[in-house]
Amino acid sequence: MEHVTRIVIIGGGPGGYEAALVAAQLGGEVTVVDRDGLGGASVLTDCVPSKTLIATAEVMTSFDASYQELGITVGDSAAERAIGVDLGKVNRRVKRLALAQSHDITASVTRAGARVLRGHGRLEPHQGADGSRRVVVTAVDGTEETLVADAVLLATGGHPREIPDARPDGERILNWTQVYDLDELPEELVVVGSGVTGAEFAGAYQALGSRVTLVSSRDRVLPGEDPDAAAVLEDVFRRRGMNVMARSRAKSVKRLDDRVEVTLDDGRVFTGSHCLMAVGAVPNTSGIGLEEAGVKLTDSGHIWTDKVSRTSAPSVYAAGDCTGVFALASVAAMQGRTAMYHFLGETVAPLDLKTVSANIFTDPEIATVGYSQSDIDEGRIDARAVKLPLLRNPRAKMQGIRDGFVKLFCRPGTGIVVGGVVVSPHASELIHPISLAVDNNLTVEQIAKAYTVYPSLSGSLAEVARQLHTRKAADA
């Protein structure tokens, strides 16, 4: 009898369910162990819900920013604001869409032939004589089942980090998984943390109508991102009325009846109606038997992996936020697929993070790919950069877009594109041509020669490539 390869996947987020699809299609006997529903935090409490909320905020911002300039009239033009939002209705839609997406993923995984178990998975410490691994699954009703696997994929994700003196209560002090339970718009929202999550929610609630204070412990918002892009966003935030508090670290947050009191390290105290804590994430790597099974953890508690998703333990792989590689659903999915291709003997390319495109869903959006401005400034790569403001673009003028730019990086001798930044509405859609260029070693000359639609925002991609190509020719 031919042996069937048994795969057990702990965690049903993008890393887990994409791995399940690959393994099942390649003939593996696949079991996915998941507690909350397939899709994981990405679908249920993070990417899908937040971007659905942001979609409503985006409509509000676009309308507020441009309707008068475009000649649109709505009701009493003297009113303070032409349109409003029903947050309870918005959040009900958010939850409905997230649940529907989770159900669609579950249907796809089960159709592919995988088994889905609701429960908590724990890796047993010892490897079998045949190289197999055992996973103990504790179901929601408390019963246990032991699964034998030829390979295990850990895709357990992460959860919001908490500050000891600022514990969320789910009502006034919130983490990013709890905001969708609000029925009314926060009158005064304090957002602690100016990274991607904090910036996205601060911008969204400002657009929806909250008075927002953004507490940043660093010199600027988005400290890890392109400095030109961060400067544009911070300027937009301030111009729209947001109180951005730089170099201000929150020490504690306390609830006082229907208010919250935020105390900073320097002793300053201020209040709001709600506080959103966005101070990073912690990997879900404790209590599942990893170290006992020989799975090495980093100092931050993440699972160490190589570029084909192997951990330090034989036949154990890992993918997604629990690895700390790149907290993106697309990267988690690639890690999961790579793990299964590798274990099942398919051809696989090592993970290359310099081809990963990422997007921050603020307004304007910030999309990046490849090498960054800091890589150039700090000498990690020799490259030339050209930045072109969108203000010169005819389509941007037509749509009332004033903020944003396109920036490309290329090698000085060959003109090969090694990275780029787009700051604009729907930058997540505009970054793809640059991603293709980076992934395929295209040159600025090749991008410059490709036709673009006139007028279009993508025309700026070709224009900035032409400027780089002209500069390269002049330097030759």
- Residue with the two structure tokens 């959006």: 365
**Residue 297 identity:** L
| Closest C-alpha among 146, 141, 176, 170 to residue 158 | 176
Is 60 exceeded by the pLDDT of residue 78? Answer: no
Could you list the beta-strand ranges (E) of 400-461. 405-410, 417-424
Q: Region 317-324: what's the mean pLDDT? A: 97
Is the CB of residue 192 less than 8 Å from the CB of residue 278? yes
Is the CB of residue 359 less than 8 Å from the CB of residue 428? yes
As a whole number of angstroms, the distance between CA 225 and CA 374 comes to 9
Residue 80: its pLDDT value, please? Answer: 58
Residue 1: its pLDDT value, please? Answer: 43
Q: Name 424's Cβ contacts closer than 8 Å, sequence gap at least 6.
A: 364, 365, 390, 396, 401, 404, 405, 406, 430, 457
Residue 81: its pLDDT value, please? Answer: 60
Residue 37: its pLDDT value, please? Answer: 92
Least trusted range by pLDDT, from 76-85, 183-192, 245-254: 76-85
For 87, the token pair is 């947050």
Percentage of the chain with pLDDT > 90? 86
Is the CB of residue 192 less than 8 Å from the CB of residue 239? no
Least trusted range by pLDDT, from 66-70, 252-256, 269-273, 349-353: 66-70
Average pLDDT, rounded, for the chain: 93
Residue 146: its pLDDT value, please? Answer: 96
> Does the CA dihedral 356-160-242-204 come out positive or negative?
positive
As a whole number of angstroms, the distance between CA 316 and CA 323 comes to 13
Is the CB of residue 41 less than 8 Å from the CB of residue 158? yes
Is the CB of residue 119 less than 8 Å from the CB of residue 33? yes
Angle between helices 329-343 and 14-25 (to 10 degrees): 30
For 327, the token pair is 């907290």
**Digit-coded pLDDT (tens) for 281-314:** 999 999 999 999 999 999 999 999 999 999 999 9
**Residue 154 identity:** L
- In our burial notation (b when 16+ CB lie closer than 10 A, e otherwise), range 254-265 reads beeeeebebbbe
Cα Rg for the chain, rounded, in angstroms? Answer: 24
**Residue 476 identity:** A
For 392, 396, 459, the CA distances from 456, given in Å and listed in that order, are: 12, 8, 5
**Digit-coded pLDDT (tens) for 113-159:** 999 999 999 999 988 888 899 999 999 899 999 999 999 999 999 99
Q: What is the pTM of this model?
A: 0.93
**Residue 26 identity:** L
**Digit-coded pLDDT (tens) for 245-269:** 999 999 999 999 999 999 999 999 9
- Omega before 364 cis (within 30°)? yes
Q: If you write DSSP's letter for every residue of 281-310 in order, what string do you get?
A: EEES-SSS-TGGGT--B-TTSPBP--TTSB
- Helix or strand run (H / E) with residue 213: strand 211-215
Phi, psi of 419 (to 5 degrees): 175, 170
Higher pLDDT, 475 or 89: 89
* Total number of residues shown for the chain: 476
* Residue 124 DSSP label: -
Which of 26-35, 49-58, 127-136 shows the highest mean pLDDT? Answer: 26-35
Q: Model confidence at 41, in pLDDT bands (50, 70, 90)?
A: confident
**Digit-coded pLDDT (tens) for 157-182:** 999 999 999 999 999 999 999 999 99
Q: Region 313-342: what's the mean pLDDT? A: 97
Side-chain-side CA neighbours of residue 8 (13 Å): 24
As a whole number of angstroms, the distance between CA 444 and CA 398 comes to 27
